[in-house]
Amino acid sequence: MNFSIILPETFLFLWAILIFVSDFFTKEEKKANLGYLSLLGILVSIFLLFSTGQGELFGKVYSSDALSQFFKMVFLLSSFLTISVSIDFSSKIQRHKGEFFALILVSTVGMMLLSSARELIFLYVSLELVTIPLYVLAAYLKPDPKSAEAGLKYMLLGAISSAILLYGISLIYGITGTTFLNEIKTRLIVDYLQIGPIGSGLFLSFIFFIAGFGFKLALVPFHMWAPDVYEGAPTPVTAFLSVGSKAAGLVAFLRVFFDSFLVYNFDWVTIMATLAALSMIIGNIVALLQTNIKRMLAYSSIAQVGYILVGMVAISERGVSSVAFYTLAYLFANIGAFVVAIAFELQTGSSEIKDYSGLSRTSPILSLMMMIFLLSLVGIPPLAGFVGKYFLFAAAVEKNLIWLVVIAVLTSVISLSYYVGVLKEMYFRKNEEQVKIRIPLGIRIALLICIIGVILIGLFPNPFLDFASQAALVFKY
């Protein structure tokens, strides 16, 4: 066995331990250095990711392939951006600053392992490694009751969703007698040929899987936690939750459904398509009513998951590659929007949309960046979001899911109005008291990466598309 393929995760975890330990020896005013140290660890891990090869360990428990590499890159990027922003955010986090960075790294390790998991027990354990640090991070501003509420809500609902997922796993084990994803598929086929339909237990297990992963993705109707948690959690954590944690749920979803359940039609496509449609409709309409930018972005991210699922239900190579591609585009645009919100919050202490009025006069560059990120989320050419949505919808049209694409396009138009609402405040409202937003180094780095990402992917999508289509080749359709 070639153990080097698991090196990026191993390294990052050891690095997280290093951060935990060096926290003891770091003076309070120098804790920011731990943040830079964490960034270094992530860079090394990205390097290791592309220098180690692909392969399988322990009889397909762990497999490093194009799909996992693609998503590991997404996780490492989102964790890099989050930590880079948190360095400056640490004036708000008054205690345990070192552990803050380390916990983000641990959660990232969980996501990376999850994207490689091809066995259900390992998948479950990695999922817990993703979420347990996130519960803590959501409650990090403990004296703030909203943050404590966010942590508690996230933990209670997360525990329930884990239990439901475990029940689903136990049912599928009872039906097939194995926990290996590819083996489940073969056994389901063999059983079907030998003894006929397996019955409704399989369907029930499938519903439990949707509920378990749907929670992580904040998919309607499992989205109720998202707005409260997103609002209460420290804003860098919210950014991480909205991208990293979602992408982790997504990759587990892809693995389970395309590796195991893609056996015969028991209409899971219809269910998924309905959930996608509901997410897009409810997410976008409720986002219209929000006055707090964190809540607005929470609902918008619920809707974005709906768009991603449009590509998934197409069940084709193009569909999966567009899902992966859109995740990357969404990463830069969404984290970018959050970074602007963080810079604003640090200076003014507010995340109400109405307080953004007149921002374009005092901070023109920041406002311009916010505009680009929001327009990319809507899907306006030539930005990354446009290319992403185009491929998602094209994949669905190919499979004759016209009704879904119509809903997706209509809700995109609705989404324009709340994104533009923010722009209207910034550009067309006058506010003489608006302050100039100071942009510290970490936030500057994050903004730069996001803006380059959004524009570069929009203008030159081909190399990223190639990478995404390689990831999609992992599954047989």
Partner 1 sequence: MENGILALVFYIFSGIIVGSGIMVVTLKNIFHSALFLVLCLFSVAGIYILLSAEFVAAVQVLIYVGAITVLMIFAIMLTAQLYSTSVRQSNEQVIPGIIIVVTLLVVTLVALSRTSWRVVSQGIEGQTTISIGKALLTTYVLPFEVVSLVLIAALIGAIIIARKE
Q: Is 199 in the site for partner 1 (CB under 8 A)?
A: yes
Q: At what angle do helices 402-428 and 364-378 cross, to 10 degrees?
A: 170
Q: Is 3 in the site for partner 1 (CB under 8 A)?
A: no
Subset of 333-372 contacting partner 1 (CB under 8 A): none
Q: How many whole angstroms separate alpha carbon 254 and alpha carbon 463?
A: 22
Count of residues near partner 1 by CB under 8 A: 48
Q: How many whole angstroms separate alpha carbon 61 and alpha carbon 68?
A: 13
**Closest distance of CB 255 from partner 1, Å:** 15
Subset of 14-33 contacting partner 1 (CB under 8 A): 20
Q: Is 65 in the site for partner 1 (CB under 8 A)?
A: no
Q: Is 144 in the site for partner 1 (CB under 8 A)?
A: no
The residue type at 76: L
Stretch that binds partner 1, among 29-37, 136-144, 283-291, 313-321 (CB under 8 A): 136-144
Subset of 369-398 contacting partner 1 (CB under 8 A): none
Q: Is 126 in the site for partner 1 (CB under 8 A)?
A: yes
Of residues 41, 151, 249, 461, which one binds partner 1 by CB under 8 A?
151
Q: Is 200 in the site for partner 1 (CB under 8 A)?
A: yes
Q: Is 202 in the site for partner 1 (CB under 8 A)?
A: yes
Q: Toward partner 1, which CB reaches closer, 198 or 302?
A: 198
User: Using omega within 30 degrees of 0 as the cis cutoff, is the peptide bond preceding 364 cis?
Assistant: no
Q: How many whole angstroms separate alpha carbon 136 and alpha carbon 233?
A: 10
Count CB atoms within 10 A of the CB of residue 178.
17
Q: How many whole angstroms separate alpha carbon 277 and alpha carbon 90?
A: 39
Q: Is 176 in the site for partner 1 (CB under 8 A)?
A: yes
CB 85 within 8 A of CB 339: yes
Q: Is 201 in the site for partner 1 (CB under 8 A)?
A: yes
Q: Toward partner 1, which CB reaches closer, 207 or 420?
A: 207
Phi, psi of 438 (to 5 degrees): -85, 135
Q: Is 24 helix (H, G, I), strand (E, B) or coil?
A: coil
Distances (CA, A) of 291 to 150, 281, 419, 432: 19, 19, 12, 21
CB 75 within 8 A of CB 111: yes
**Degrees, nearest 5: CA angle 285-74-77:** 105
**Closest distance of CB 437 from partner 1, Å:** 30
Q: Toward partner 1, which CB reaches closer, 159 or 409?
A: 159
Phi, psi of 179 (to 5 degrees): -115, 5
Stretch that binds partner 1, among 42-50, 202-210, 340-348, 423-431 (CB under 8 A): 202-210
Q: Toward partner 1, which CB reaches closer, 151 or 306?
A: 151
Q: Toward partner 1, which CB reaches closer, 201 or 463?
A: 201
Of residues 13, 257, 261, 268, which one binds partner 1 by CB under 8 A?
13
The residue type at 99: E
Q: Toward partner 1, which CB reaches closer, 129 or 210?
A: 129
Q: Toward partner 1, which CB reaches closer, 175 or 263?
A: 175
Token digits of residue 304: 């974005």
Q: How many whole angstroms separate alpha carbon 423 and alpha carbon 190?
A: 57
Q: How many whole angstroms separate alpha carbon 387 and alpha carbon 130?
A: 30
Where residue 400 falls (left for φ over 0; alpha for ψ -120 to 50; beta otherwise) is left
Of residues 63, 70, 108, 119, which one binds partner 1 by CB under 8 A?
119
Q: Is 473 in the site for partner 1 (CB under 8 A)?
A: no
Stretch that binds partner 1, among 168-176, 261-269, 296-304, 327-335 (CB under 8 A): 168-176
Strand runs labelled E in 27-131: 55-57, 62-64
Q: Is 136 in the site for partner 1 (CB under 8 A)?
A: yes
**Closest distance of CB 269 from partner 1, Å:** 20
Q: Is 169 in the site for partner 1 (CB under 8 A)?
A: no
**Degrees, nearest 5: CA angle 422-424-426:** 70
Phi, psi of 57 (to 5 degrees): -125, 150
Of residues 30, 40, 50, 95, which one binds partner 1 by CB under 8 A?
95
Token digits of residue 234: 């420290």
Q: Is 135 in the site for partner 1 (CB under 8 A)?
A: yes
Of residues 56, 128, 144, 149, which one binds partner 1 by CB under 8 A?
128
Q: Is 204 in the site for partner 1 (CB under 8 A)?
A: yes
CB 399 within 8 A of CB 362: no
Q: Toward partner 1, which CB reaches closer, 256 or 287?
A: 256
Binding site for partner 1 (CB under 8 A): 13, 20, 57-59, 61-62, 95-96, 99, 102-103, 106-107, 109-110, 113, 119, 121-122, 125-126, 128-129, 132-133, 135-136, 139-140, 142-143, 151, 171, 174-177, 187, 191, 195, 198-204
